[in-house]
Amino acid sequence: MPVQASSPHPLNNLPARDSTALIHATVLLVIIAGTVGAWVYIGLVSIPPAVPETAPIGSAFAVGNPTNGTCPSASTFLAEGCRGPTHFYFRLAILASTVQFGDVQFIIHTPSGAIDVAPGGLGFTVLAPNGTVAAQYAGSGGTMSMSSVWTYEHGTTASTPLNTNDTIMIDIGTTNPFDERLQFSALGTGEYSGTTGLLTLP
């Protein structure tokens, strides 16, 4: 049986000019595909990572019921958060809290909104329900604003819950600040942002 000759490939029937155009078109498509791929890659690489959302600290932490007084004569800042007998203090109750120690820092403001600088002011202390120091921040030069983390005591850590049965003690120094309408606020850190509302101190 005679062998039938195979049909020529369709491309073989193209004029030379059309074959060249087809090759050019194919090369162009490859270049375009590579360029688009490069753009997509650059776009993906340049997308900044998502910033974790933070919750407003005012929705998770609140203080109140401020009292004031003179530090007892035998008290010390390290043991009670208040140096006696010549220093004055403010004491605050924690009314609501779903935060941890590492989520908050404390500030005392003047009525104008500036950070208070209290002569001899030693800083902030959180007292556990039994009266022992859970965490403490010793200020510098009487500046009543936390600029770094707490110093923790008795097993407290940054991830320890700050509870409503804890108490805030503020050693405000050697000059009587009562009735000056100083104000307290808490600054949110970590998973929290912003500040609480201002609490006017007696």
Give all strands (DSSP E) within 41-118, no chain letters.
55-56, 61-70, 88-97, 104-109
More confident residue, 34 or 2: 34
Compute and round to an integer the Cα radius of gyration of the chain.
Answer: 34
Residue 34 is inside which H or E element, if any?
helix 16-46
- What are the residue ranges of helices labelled H in 47-138? 77-80
Domain boundaries, the chain: 14-46, 55-200
Q: Yes or no: say if 97 and 188 are a contact pair by the CB < 8 Å rule.
A: no
From CA 170, how far away is CA 176, in angstroms rounded?
13
Condensed to tens digits (0 to 9), the pLDDT of residues 90-134 reads 999 999 999 999 999 999 999 999 999 999 999 999 999 999 999
Q: Is 170 a residue whose pLDDT tops 50?
A: yes
- Can the peptide bond before residue 85 be classed as cis, meaning omega within 30 degrees of 0? yes
pLDDT band at residue 69, thresholds of 50, 70 and 90? very high
User: Residue 42 forms beta bridges with which residues?
Assistant: none
Residue 136 is inside which H or E element, if any?
strand 133-138
Amino acid at 13: N
